[in-house]
Amino acid sequence: MSEETKRSGVLDWITRVFVRVGVLPFFLVGALIIFTALSSKFLTGQNLINVARQSVYLVLVSMGQMLVLISGGFDLSVGTAIALTSVVSALGMVWFAGMFPDMIWLAIMLGAFMGFGAALLVGLANGIGVAYFEVSPFIMTLGVSSVGAGFALFLTGGVPVSGMPFAFADTFGFGRLWGIPVPVIVAIICIIAMWVFMSRTRLGTQIYAVGGNIKAAHLSAINTKRALMLAYVVCALIASLTGLLLTARVESGEANLGGTIALESIAAAVIAGVSLRGGIGRVENVVLGAFFIVLVQNGMNLAQVSSYMQMVLLGALLILAVIFDQIRYRIIMSGR
């Protein structure tokens, strides 16, 4: 009898945690147990720091993705925004560096701005299509993704852009400030800014409202088109920033950067409890979700899972997360 009540108590607790924070804590504990068992190198300080550094890029993109998901859509073109930024900024830096060989930082800045500009166009195209023409986010971002990828390949002819200023890669790819890698610092600043934006500003509140019920938001005097637009533009710009950091890391402008990041970022956000129906999601959880995805990839590498099998597992993980999200939604709506 008491054994039974205890068991139902535990089950009750699990359900409550699941409803409150979603599937992430269970996935995280599961991953830690499995990979610790598979590889002795997994649960070491060195490895975890390594994972933290590698996860910077996905953390950033996932936060942008989260913004769009909360607004009630999703963005499949984040990878394209990264590739386009990489190619355009690299071409820009090379070109400006040739023009002003004495002012290398000016060249880097101008190139970076060109990259941001290219991503801004991607975000604007998505935003205008979704907000003003009411194209489904799936089709809009899928189409833009093809357009952008095509441009990136066209601009480079498929060949990586090399000869970038050394200072750029030195600082943003491998540099450290107070002993902390520069990309990590950039990510931390972005996380804080994003958290403040989503939880402390009017615009953030509006994006939650638009995703929750766009008609109700409209009747509450919210500019729903602007809110949607903003979500896509900010998402593209964050992806663009990620693109610059990745470009610095690989020291060349590449049109194939960010190939799988759309899927990964959606998986990270959904696992972290961002609702695919919009309106729900928290920055801090998404950061953890992205960390989880990179952790799993790292664990699979250590356990010598082939990269092809990793694709299989990642896709399965995403579907599983969505199924759990669906179950969670049902529990919430039925009011248990």
Q: How far is the CB of 275 from other proteins (least distance, A)?
A: 7
Output 43 or 128, the one with its CB closest to other proteins: 128
Q: How far is the CB of 279 from other proteins (least distance, A)?
A: 6
Output 171 or 213, the one with its CB closest to other proteins: 213
**What is the DSSP annotation of 89-114?**
HHHHHHHHHHH-TT-HHHHHHHHHHH
Q: How far is the CB of 196 from other proteins (least distance, A)?
A: 7
Residue 265 near residue 290, CB atoms below 8 Å: yes
The torsion angle over the Cα atoms of residues 32, 38, 41 and 44, rounded to 10 degrees, is 20
Output 1 or 333, the one with its CB closest to other proteins: 333
Q: How far is the CB of 207 from other proteins (least distance, A)?
A: 11
Residue 223 near residue 71, CB atoms below 8 Å: no
Residue 73 zone, left/alpha/beta (φ > 0; ψ -120 to 50; rest): beta
Q: How far is the CB of 199 from other proteins (least distance, A)?
A: 8
Output 304 or 334, the one with its CB closest to other proteins: 334
Output 4 or 202, the one with its CB closest to other proteins: 202
Q: How far is the CB of 222 from other proteins (least distance, A)?
A: 6
Cβ neighbour number for residue 97 with a 10 Å cutoff: 21
> Tokens 């600043």 sit at which residue?
189
Distance, first Cα to last Cα, the chain:
24
Output 25 or 212, the one with its CB closest to other proteins: 212
Q: How far is the CB of 127 from other proteins (least distance, A)?
A: 18
Q: Give 208's Cβ-side CA count (13 Å radius).
A: 14
Residue 24 near residue 292, CB atoms below 8 Å: yes
Cα radius of gyration rounded to whole Å, the chain: 21
Q: Please give the Cα distance from 167 to 173 (Å, whole number).
A: 10
Q: How far is CA 56 from CA 51, 178, 293, 335, in A?
A: 9, 18, 11, 37
Residue 181, helix vs strand vs coil: strand
- Give the footprint of other proteins on this chain (CB under 8 A): 196, 199-202, 205-206, 209, 212-213, 215-223, 275, 277, 279-280, 329, 332-336
Output 274 or 295, the one with its CB closest to other proteins: 274
